[in-house]
């Protein structure tokens, strides 16, 4: 009986040790898995791209918030031209309507958009119109960079903002002179690009990096078990369809874009001095450096007092006696922080916060550390 109990205890202990080992392996693997990113999220495939479209049109149906034709001659000329095409001659008439506005229409033609499909368009006023609320965009051709018409837009303009005013006050929310027409453009011309006919394609990294480029190529070659991918440079990887892969390039792209890698990045500090925003990557390191931050502040306060003579005195005048209080603050409570070599981003931020330093002072300190050669990272000032 005792031997059976001991045997069961040993088996239970062995199972517990195995579970502990499994959980330890999962804990060690978690950071790597969390940092992995799909290839489709870090690269763009050559030829799979958007195209920008632009057009000029008219929005009608405004409630007196359109362009004043006297201050917007292009609106008047467009109105006359549109009416003449519809058989209405108003060339010598005195037009004074404020229910029409000239607008620029922009849209993005997605890759492989088929003829007859619909895309969204954005409307922006050109003249002195106060609001496009309630307006309707008339038929507007949308041109590409080659001056060819790829889509035609028309529809009801949806405006998120509004403007209201009275004799003594006005209220404006968001931008009432801009709006959108959801699915307001119909694609009339397709871009002739046949991805399936290509024998090789280039993958462009959105954040160029030599290490990331090689990792992408290695992940693809490991999956295909064939040297089909080759890193050309920090920005692109050349992919060739293997002879043994009979599914075609489209299926090949579908297979490899789901592969995961750990992208590398350059140590960089991005600074926006206008708003005081600081963004630092996790690879930023600091060499041994001492930091002190403090200013000499002198405050002068004037509190003048009135001096009057004694009551019923025959001599004496009422005068103003100046009283000045001078206070000098040299930030003696501040301390020098010594940062050892290899300090991480978290340790750097904690040390600067311990000194009571604000974001704008941190910007100056980071630039000074970089000038001293102790900041092992690039600084990009926006």
Cα–Cα distance measured from residue 157 to residue 284, given in angstroms and rounded to the nearest whole number: 48
The overall average pLDDT reported for the chain is 79
pTM of this prediction?
A: 0.66
The pLDDT of residue 237? 94
- State the Rg of the chain over Cα: 35
E strands, 241-369, are 260-261, 268-272, 277-280, 285-286, 289-291, 297-302, 305-307, 319-321, 324-329, 337-339
277-280/268-272 β-pairing: antiparallel
How confident is the model over 101-119, as pLDDT tens digits?
999 999 999 988 999 999 9
How confident is the model over 302-358, as pLDDT tens digits?
667 777 777 766 676 777 777 666 565 555 555 555 555 556 656 766 766 776 677
DSSP characters for 46-106? TT---EEEEEEEEEE--SS-S--TTT-HHHHHHHHHHHHHTT---TTS-----SEEEEEEE
Long-range contacts of 80-84 (CB under 8 A, 24+ apart): 82/58, 82/138
């Amino acid at each position: 009986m005792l031997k059976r109990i001991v045997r069961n205890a040993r088996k239970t202990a062995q199972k517990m040790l195995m579970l502990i080992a499994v959980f330890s392996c999962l804990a060690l693997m978690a950071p790597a898995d969390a940092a992995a990113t799909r290839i489709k999220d870090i690269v763009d495939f050559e030829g799979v791209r958007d195209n920008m479209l632009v057009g000029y049109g008219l929005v009608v149906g405004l409630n007196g918030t359109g362009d004043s034709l006297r201050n917007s001659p292009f609106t008047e000329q467009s109105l006359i031209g549109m009416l003449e095409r519809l058989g209405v001659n108003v060339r010598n008439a005195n037009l004074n309507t404020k229910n029409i506005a000239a607008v620029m229409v922009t849209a993005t033609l997605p890759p492989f958009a088929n003829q007859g499909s619909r895309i969204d368009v954005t409307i922006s006023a050109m003249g002195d119109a106060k609001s496009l609320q309630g307006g309707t965009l008339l038929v507007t051709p949308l041109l590409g960079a080659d001056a060819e018409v790829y889509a035609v837009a028309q529809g009801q303009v949806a405006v998120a903002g509004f403007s209201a005013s009275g004799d003594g006050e006005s209220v404006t929310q968001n931008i009432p002179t801009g709006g959108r027409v959801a699915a307001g453009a119909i694609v009339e011309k397709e871009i002739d690009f046949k991805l399936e006919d290509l024998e090789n394609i280039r993958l462009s990294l959105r954040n160029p990096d030599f290490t990331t480029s090689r990792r992408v190529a290695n992940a693809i070659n490991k999956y295909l078990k064939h040297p089909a991918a080759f890193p050309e440079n920090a920005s692109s990887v050349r992919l060739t369809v293997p002879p043994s892969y009979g599914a075609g390039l489209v299926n090949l792209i579908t297979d490899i874009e789901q592969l995961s890698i750990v992208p590398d990045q350059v140590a960089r500090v991005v600074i926006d001095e206008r708003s005081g925003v600081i963004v630092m990557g996790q690879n930023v390191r600091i060499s041994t450096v001492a930091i002190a931050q403090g200013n000499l502040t002198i405050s002068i306060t004037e509190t003048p007092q009135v001096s009057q003579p004694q009551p019923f005195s025959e001599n004496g005048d009422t005068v103003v006696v100046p009283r000045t209080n001078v206070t000098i603050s040299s930030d003696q409570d501040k301390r020098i922080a010594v940062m050892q070599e290899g300090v991480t981003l978290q340790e750097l931020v904690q040390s600067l916060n311990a000194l009571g330093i604000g974001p704008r002072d941190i910007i100056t300190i980071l630039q000074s550390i970089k000038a001293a050669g102790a900041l092992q990272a690039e600084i990009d000032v926006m």
